[in-house]
Amino acid sequence: MPAYVDADRLVSQHCAIIASTGAGKSWLAGVLIERLTAAAEIPIIVFDPHGEYSAMQVPRTEEGRAVSERVEIYVVGKVDVSAQDKAFEAKYGSPRRYIRIGLNPRSLPLRALERLLEGFYGLTDAQRRILEEGWQGATAYGDRQPLTDVEELISEVLEYGKQAAPSGYAGEMALSGLAARLRALFKSPIFLEKYGDTYAGEPVKLFDPQRLLAAPGVHVLDLSGLDLVDQRNFHGGCPRRDVQGGRQEGQPPLLNSRRGGPQLRAG
Ligand SMILES: Nc1ncnc2c1ncn2[C@@H]1O[C@H](COP(=O)(O)OP(=O)(O)OP(=O)(O)O)[C@@H](O)[C@H]1O
Ligand SMILES: [Mg+2]
């Protein structure tokens, strides 16, 4: 039985696909992404925790070829994905093509950083005040945050933040406690420490959500090499405004079509 989805409503409202395990949810998501890509010049970002959407790079049909050519895979983090690569090559007979990416810790929004630190390690009131002051100082570079090693970043945060620290021993403890928490968080393999960083001899590029959103096509963020904590770090660290927030009030819908615009054949 043919079923149709209103493409405008699909991309301008929330949507969930709910069914029992193995019913074909991921498959349907893949079909919707494929049809959207064929119907309109839009950027689509796929957060892929299990690495199952790499398959979209391989056309299943001749008409699927145009879409598959517009699928770009990004492996997130300095992590071993050789098992995934081997499985892909065994299944499809050609190597998986991807770009490896990482985040600049300095481009984390303060709120996201607070949420992550609070969630994993907890923050005292004093540490929170130091962080708010210090992060503002250490990230006052506008759109182009420099990528430095983590120790350099942390000492800048403490330098700018120490005016907000209580005096004496309590202040010392708050500063060193905050430094330890930042160090623990930034050890995650999703973060980069220098320009031209590499993993196993391959370059790791800086994740630039603005650039992805400016490029029509399917951008698959393969998180399958990360453990759950680092997947959460990455979700939390993605600038919400860019990747998760969607459009702002008053801006046109992603698919710039009137009512009765593209209808996607979903089934
Ligand atoms: N319409 C379809 N045509 C052909 N094969 C399909 C179709 N839908 C699903 N499949 C196949 O069925 C299997 C299960 O589908 P899928 O992985 O999409 O299920 P799921 O609901 O996402 O499962 P899970 O809950 O485990 O994530 C896969 O091997 C998939 O290739
Ligand atoms: Mg699934």
Is residue 28 scored above 90 in pLDDT? Answer: yes
Last-in-domain residue among 186, 216, 235: 186
Q: What is the pLDDT of residue 241?
A: 59
Same domain, 91 and 115: no
Same domain, 147 and 177: yes
Nearest ligand 1 atom to the CA of 50 is 27
Same domain, 155 and 126: yes
Same domain, 39 and 169: no
In a domain, 196, yes or no: no
Same domain, 247 and 223: yes
In a domain, 256, yes or no: yes
H/E segment holding residue 4: strand 4-6
Same domain, 13 and 86: yes
Same domain, 54 and 75: yes
Q: Which ligand is the nearest neighbour of the Cα of 91?
A: 1
Helix orientation angle between 125-138 and 110-120, rounded to the nearest 10 degrees: 150
Same domain, 111 and 83: no
In a domain, 147, yes or no: yes
Q: What is the pLDDT of residue 3?
A: 86
Domain count of the fold of the chain:
2
Same domain, 26 and 152: no
Q: What is the pTM of this model?
A: 0.87
**Residue pointed to by tokens 């090499």:** 225
In a domain, 226, yes or no: yes
In a domain, 77, yes or no: yes
CA 16 to ligand 1 center in whole angstroms: 16
Could you give the percent of the chain with pLDDT greater than 90? 71
Which of 25, 27, 53 best tests ligand 1's pocket when mutated (most atoms within 8 Å of CB)? 27
In a domain, 193, yes or no: no
Same domain, 109 and 93: no
Q: What is the pLDDT of residue 140?
A: 94
pLDDT digits (tens, 9 = 90+) for 155-175: 999 999 999 999 999 999 999
Same domain, 179 and 227: no
Task: Give the chain's mean pLDDT.
Answer: 89
Measured CA to CA in angstroms, residue 35 lies from 32, 41, 142, 211 at distances of 5, 11, 37, 23
Q: What is the pLDDT of residue 64?
A: 83
CA 214 to ligand 2 center in whole angstroms: 28
Mean pLDDT of 106-120: 92
- Residues lining ligand 1, CB < 6 A? 19, 21-27
In a domain, 199, yes or no: no
Rounded CA-CA distance 196/19 in Å is 43
Structural domain harbouring 166: 105-186
CA 229 to ligand 1 center in whole angstroms: 26
Cα R_g (the chain), whole angstroms:
21
Same domain, 83 and 115: no
In a domain, 127, yes or no: yes
Is residue 19 scored above 80 in pLDDT? Answer: yes
pLDDT digits (tens, 9 = 90+) for 219-256: 999 999 999 999 999 998 886 655 554 444 444 344 43
CA 77 to ligand 2 center in whole angstroms: 22
Could you give the percent of the chain with pLDDT greater than 70? 89
pLDDT band, very low/low/confident/very high, at 264 (cuts 50, 70, 90) = low
